[in-house]
Every structure is written in C-alpha cells, then in structure tokens.
Structure 1
C-alpha cells in the first residue's frame, strides 16, 4: 500500500478549517499534515518564508482558500510554483468569478472546489487526485502519452452532482464507497444485500450515479427472468 498523501489545509475561518481537517481524516489514503489560518503561516509551514530552507512540514497536497487575511490565494499559488515545490494544489474557496477561476487554473491548481460543498464532493476531489498521482507513479521515471492522458482524465472526471430529492447523501456515499473499493461490477440486488436495503432502493442510487456518468451500466447476461444490470465505478 502506498504512503498516505499528506495534506496542508489553508483556511482562515476557524469552523471551516476544522471541518476540512476532519474531512481529510475521513478520506482513506490521506493524512492531515497541518492547518494554516493565514497565508504567512502556510508559507512558513512549506518552508517558503526563507527560500533557502526546505519544507518545515512534509506536504504532498495543499487545500488552498483564495481569500486569506494577509495574502490572496493566487499569491500563495505563485510562491509555491515559483519555488518549484512538487505539491498538488486544490483550490477550496467561495470565489466563483470566472476570471479568478481561470487565473487559478493557469497558476497550477489541480482541482477547484467551490464552497459550500458536501463531504461527498470533497471526498470525490481527493480520490480523483489520488488516482492522478497513482496513475503517474506506475510508470517510474518515464511515461507515455496514453499514461499522461489517463492521469489527466482522472482529475477531470466529474463527481456526483447534488443528491436528488428522496436520496440520502450518507447512503449515496456508502454506495459510492462500495463501488469504488469493490473493483468488480455489482447488481442492485448485491448492493442491497451488502448495504441492507431493498433492490428497488439500491437501484435508485445506482441509476442516479449512472445518469451522472459516474458509473457504467451494462446488461448482465446469464440470469433468468427480468433483465439485470451491473454497475461498475468509472476509473
């Protein structure tokens, strides 16, 4: 098993900072490295207050708010990139203005997560980032065009949309976890048995994910009676 991805949360609002830190702890494969409440604190933790020093805290991924009391997030981004630190950056912010989004992407953010968001959306961004890292790491010191395309596709795969009326976010997260971690395709009956729900209920969640193009749906042949579909998480 690969080492956990160490995450620095940069967020000035106390409640949001605590929530994001707890979210990181809940996502498998990730580990909270530190929380910074200001841009200056973030730069210090990254070893960028004085350029001659290395990182004070080992960090693989930065969750970066754009609106900080002393720096703009774009300034932090540019300092990180200018220093050549090999860390991923996900913007976690309420900033929705398209020019700012474009600047953040041009400055090197891997993902852009707009507040407010659910844990499912947060978890989805982190999982796709981990897939991106692992996809590239499989090829050692050299890679291929196909491998790069696959890694970038992992970052751009859309996550589940807002949970529609009648569906529970917690249950949807459980269904997503079963599909993502299971590897092999499953039917509505199998999902219902594993998660303790009826086939009809399980099928509603699976069909919602299929409509969002988050899972693939294919007929399962060799079964008697009513045609049955199986669902597989899209990598």
Structure 2
C-alpha cells in the first residue's frame, strides 16, 4: 500500500509517517504540507491512500479531497485525519468521498484498522475487475459498501452489535466504553470490543479525552447510517 501523508505540521506528519511504516506492506511515498503540494504529489506519485489533514495553510483539506476524488477508478482512497470534530466538517468529508475520518490525537492501532479496511476494499474491487464486471449479488455489494451481511468477528454477535449501535445512535454526543456498557447493560470489556469493531468498520468515530492523570479516555460517536 503506497501512502501519501498530508499535514501542515512537520512533526505530526513525521509521527503519522512512522505509524504507516509500522504497518506491514505499507510505505510512505511522499509527504506534503500544503494543499497544492498534496494535489501535485498525488498526481505524480499515484498513491493508493492519502492521509489528509483538513487545516492546511493554502486551502481546506476538503477542497483537496474534492480534487482527489473525481469518481475515476484510479482515484486514491482518502482518510481524513484532523482536529476538526464538528458535524459540518464530518458531513462534508463523507459527501466528498472520504473513506473514513480520524480525529487527532489517535492511537496507531486506530490508523492501522482503517488502513486494513482500505486494503480489504482494494482487494474486493480488484476481484471485481478480474471477474470482468459481471453481475453481483446484493450480499457482495453490501460487503463492498460496508453493509451488515458480512461475518462478525469471532466472539461478537449481530444482536448485541445492533444494541450497541442503537445506544450510540440515540445518544446526543459521544460515550465512553463504560457509559455505553451501562446503557446497553453489558460489561465494559464487551462494550469496548463492539465499539472498536464499529470504529474499524467506519461507522463510529473515536477521539481521546485527556484528563489530569493516567491514560486518555476513548470517546465514541456514531457516524454511520
């Protein structure tokens, strides 16, 4: 997987590049610090995935997203990585064709989950190309578009996943794993597993809330349909 990292902060770009290099079979093919450079490098390097910040010095990352996602099969996947957590920006990213949206700061495993998801999508699309563009079943289409007919990870069940999803959808704001567990009447460990499953699938966003001491708290918000 060839990745282009775009961030106006040199140190943040370095950190994100390190995360990418820690993922098997991934390489950073370029780093850009402005929107114009991102567009130029994307055209020259043809990356498979672009990690794109929203706040750039010369233009919004959302404008860059629209330039990169033209609807052509050769367009790169784009993962928005930004401090912007307002609903309008998230909606614009979704409508612009972003694969997913990570709010800074985040753990390296959150990025790896999304890179693995892009890798899976690329494999599915490559399989369609090899099949010669024949007719697809609805289940196959649902899997590509993130539908619910794919298999659940070992130890997770569909009814409980639906329960956790309902709790998130009906809550105004974000929840910790402990808060979600209480509302769903599950153990905290179980709720956390389902929440991280949704994060990997792109239907839930996560942010870190820092307190005075200890590890930051992971806060989850429903972002799917």
User: How has the CA–CA distance of structure 1 residues 210 and 21 changed in structure 2, closer, same or farther, with 3 Å as cutoff?
Assistant: closer
Counterpart for residue 57 of structure 1: 45
User: How has the CA–CA distance of structure 1 residues 106 and 212 changed in structure 2, closer, same or farther, with 3 Å as cutoff?
Assistant: closer
Write the distance in 2 (CA, Å) between the matches of 1:40 and 1:102: 23
Q: Deviation of residue 213 (structure 1)?
A: 7.0
Larger RCO: 1 or 2 (CA < 8 Å, sep 6+): 2
2:34/2:58 contact within 8 Å kept: yes
Tell whether 2:22 aligns with 1:26. Answer: yes
Any unmatched runs of 5+ in structure 1? 47-54, 165-203, 216-235
Tell whether 2:145 aligns with 1:152. Answer: yes
User: How has the CA–CA distance of structure 1 residues 106 and 21 changed in structure 2, closer, same or farther, with 3 Å as cutoff?
Assistant: same
Any unmatched runs of 5+ in structure 2? 153-160, 162-174, 179-186, 199-225
Root-mean-square deviation (CA, aligned residues, Å) is 3.2
Write the distance in 1 (CA, Å) between the matches of 2:177 and 2:112: 15
- Using the size of structure 1 for normalisation, the TM-score is 0.60
Tell whether 2:88 aligns with 1:99. Answer: yes
Counterpart for residue 171 of structure 1: none
Write the distance in 2 (CA, Å) between the matches of 1:83 and 1:60: 14
Q: Deviations over 1:104-134 (max 9, x none)?
A: 1101101111111111111111111111211
Counterpart for residue 175 of structure 1: none
Q: Deviation of residue 31 (structure 1)?
A: 1.6
- Using the size of structure 2 for normalisation, the TM-score is 0.62
Write the distance in 2 (CA, Å) between the matches of 1:206 and 1:83: 40
* Corresponding residue SS for 1:56: helix
Tell whether 2:122 aligns with 1:137. Answer: no
Aligned length: 162
